[in-house]
Structure 1
Amino acid sequence: MADTPSNPLFPGKQFISTVLEALETKTRMTGTIAHRYLMRAAMAGMIVAVFYVVNYAIVGTFDELSVGGASLAGVGRVLGALCFGPALVFIYYTRSELLTSNMMVVVIGGYYRRISWWRGLRVLGMCLLGNFLGGLGFALLYRFSSLLGGSTGDQAVHSVETKLAYLSSASGIGDLLVRAILCNFMINLAMLLIYNGFIHEDWSKIFSMIMAVFVFAFLGLEHSVANTVLFTVVGMTHGIEVPLAMGNVAVALLGNFVGGGLLIGAYYAYANDDSRWLRRHAASQPAAQAEGSQKPKATRS
């Protein structure tokens, strides 16, 4: 395929085509080999569970360090967010299934009528279940290890307390919703860069994904799958208020759908829909040809 799109008016046609191809695979898998789709989704949950622990281990280590009386906690936050970034890279290159990026895929498929909405919900529902099961499996492993002990566990518990505290007020819920919208906007913005056909080098794709996740991790944005995995892990090791955790995930799911499904999926589906333009262009051609044929021929003097 050429590096430049054939129609500069709709430069995202390659992006839409790639997404629709991916959607076809997801739809077929959830219908005929659903257990394999669940396995792919579970792997994404496992990957998130591993990188979350890495993040909190780094933050916890630097939180206990200081230089000249100045705390290095800020350095730990930066490094922790950077080290959490490769989680999306591992998910992408292992062809695992992540709910939040599938929100974009399903909405684009629904816009172009390549999937019914109930089938789209099946794809998303099975993906969420798989992500949860993967996180649950690793949470059980952590339960019988010391990986979530000490400063690492303290940081994880503090993060959970902060996330659950959003539900204590209406303004907090609004804050949580906005953070969830921005989070999946960033995640799917990275997927847009990868799928649009303009980036070919793997290192450029990797950089895009790491930076998108870094933004959401460093700013404390809310990712429904990451929160689900975190709550499961902390719940297994330290205990958690399940109703509040479920409420957080519900709000995060809504915000993630708006940020990734609507602000990226629906936005670019419409922006690159050339069907009306083609019909209008085709309709104007006969009129232009008829007008040209009615013009009198020039005569020599």
Structure 2
Amino acid sequence: MADAPENLFPGKTFVSTVLEAADTKAEMSRSITQVYLMRAAMAGIIIGIFYLANYTIIAGFVAVDPELRTIGKLVGAVAFGFALVFIYFTRSELLTSNMMIATIAVYHRRMRVRRASALLALCLLGNALGGLLIALLVAGSSMIDDATGTLVTQAVEHKLDYVTSGSSGMLDLFVRAILCNLLINLAMLLVYNGLVKADGVKVLAMIVAVMLFAFLGYEHSVANTVLFTIQGFHGGIDIWPALANVGIALVGNFVGGGLLIGWYYAYANDPERTQRALLREARLVTREAARAASGAEGR
């Protein structure tokens, strides 16, 4: 027996919850833009704090023994994983998860492409402003004047190498950005689908998703924006490769979160499309029954 439309993966609850969130975000960005920007800025602040914590933890392990660098990366990635948890429970606005939400809203005609684009652009601006605030605060302190700053500089140079090394490096960056937001929005899928009730499981899903992308070296457009801003005030940065990196990461993140999760599950849970498929199946069964009856009468 075929499942009812609302039981198809990941379910009607997921889509309806996302659409409610999209309606709220669209209205907020339109009517109380300042508050929406503040919520987006807080996400940038959280990303900045936890990303620096990641590098500080790695530096601590390396200081004990350089051979512990990989373990430090793993522990730092776990700590960074809590950034998404803080963003979710403070109701801050992160661009990469909003890519999924906006795409589903556009698919279901709850948001026009222009409104969705404006929403995402405003979210990116807010995230960048939050990162700028953290960069300014860090610049006025000695927090990255030690080994942490060295690691930050090395990380920035590595990220810029994706762009300066040519097409193969940019493709590498693009693929890493796709996988990054695929992981993040898989976690948000678990948070929104209504099947996961316990907050502890939601927290674990978000931590694991971010931990994997950080440890495996995937590329997050907002995290890179914040890191580049911090490095710009700390030791300077080549701005054009940095902008190119963010641009490529943005497109890759949209493919991973907006298309491979947002559009994919919007299509899979489209009630009109599902009803059409069920009707076609019913007509096929009816025709087959009629042919069978006709053949029986002929005999």
Alignment partners' CA distance in 2, 1:13 and 1:160: 42
Task: Name 2:99's counterpart in structure 1.
Answer: 103
Residue of 155, 158, 168 corresponding to 2:154 = 158
Q: For structure 1, which runs of at least 5 residues remain unmatched after alignment? A: 296-301
Q: Please tell me whether the aligned partners of residues 29 and 36 of structure 2 are also in contact (alpha carbons under 8 angstroms).
A: yes
| 1:208 aligned onto 2:205 | yes
Secondary structure at the aligned position of 1:216 is classed as: helix
One-letter amino acid matched to 1:242: I
| 1:79 aligned onto 2:78 | no
Q: For structure 2, which runs of at least 5 residues remain unmatched after alignment? A: 294-299
Task: Name 2:49's counterpart in structure 1.
Answer: 50
Alignment partners' CA distance in 2, 1:277 and 1:177: 33
Residue of 120, 134, 137 corresponding to 2:116 = 120
Report the CA distance shift for 1:282/1:225 in structure 2 as closer, same or farther (over 3 A): same
One-letter amino acid matched to 1:27: A
Report the CA distance shift for 1:44/1:278 in structure 2 as closer, same or farther (over 3 A): same
Report deviation, 1:20: 0.2
Task: Name 1:299's counterpart in structure 2.
Answer: none
One-letter amino acid matched to 1:250: G
| 1:34 aligned onto 2:10 | no
Task: Name 2:228's counterpart in structure 1.
Answer: 231
* Count of matched residue pairs: 284
One-letter amino acid matched to 1:163: K
Report deviation, 1:280: 5.3
Report the CA distance shift for 1:166/1:11 in structure 2 as closer, same or farther (over 3 A): closer
Task: Name 2:187's counterpart in structure 1.
Answer: 190
Report deviation, 1:75: 1.2
Report deviation, 1:8: 3.0
Residue of 131, 134, 150 corresponding to 1:135 = 131
| 1:172 aligned onto 2:169 | yes
One-letter amino acid matched to 1:273: D
Alignment partners' CA distance in 1, 2:211 and 2:20: 28
Report deviation, 1:274: 2.3
Task: Name 2:12's counterpart in structure 1.
Answer: 13
Alignment partners' CA distance in 2, 1:206 and 1:9: 25
Larger helix proportion, structure 1 or 2? 2
Secondary structure at the aligned position of 2:49 is classed as: helix
Report deviation, 1:11: 4.3
Q: Please tell me whether the aligned partners of residues 64 and 73 of structure 1 are also in contact (alpha carbons under 8 angstroms).
A: no
Secondary structure at the aligned position of 2:7 is classed as: coil
Q: Share of identical aligned residues, percent?
A: 54
One-letter amino acid matched to 1:136: L
Report the CA distance shift for 1:214/1:255 in structure 2 as closer, same or farther (over 3 A): same
1:102-143 Cα shifts (integer Å, max 9, x gaps) = 000011011001100000001000000000000001110101
1:135-189 Cα shifts (integer Å, max 9, x gaps) = 0011101011011111110011100000000012110000000000000000000
Alignment partners' CA distance in 1, 2:211 and 2:9: 30
Secondary structure at the aligned position of 1:173 is classed as: helix
Q: Please tell me whether the aligned partners of residues 10 and 274 of structure 1 are also in contact (alpha carbons under 8 angstroms).
A: no
Report the CA distance shift for 1:5/1:223 in structure 2 as closer, same or farther (over 3 A): farther
Alignment partners' CA distance in 2, 1:281 and 1:160: 52
Alignment partners' CA distance in 2, 1:174 and 1:6: 38
Q: Please tell me whether the aligned partners of residues 58 and 79 of structure 1 are also in contact (alpha carbons under 8 angstroms).
A: yes
Report deviation, 1:10: 5.0
One-letter amino acid matched to 1:170: S
Q: Please tell me whether the aligned partners of residues 62 and 72 of structure 1 are also in contact (alpha carbons under 8 angstroms).
A: yes
What CA RMSD, in Å, does the superposition of the two structures yield over aligned residues? 1.9
Q: Please tell me whether the aligned partners of residues 62 and 76 of structure 1 are also in contact (alpha carbons under 8 angstroms).
A: yes
Alignment partners' CA distance in 1, 2:10 and 2:86: 28
TM-score by length of 2: 0.91
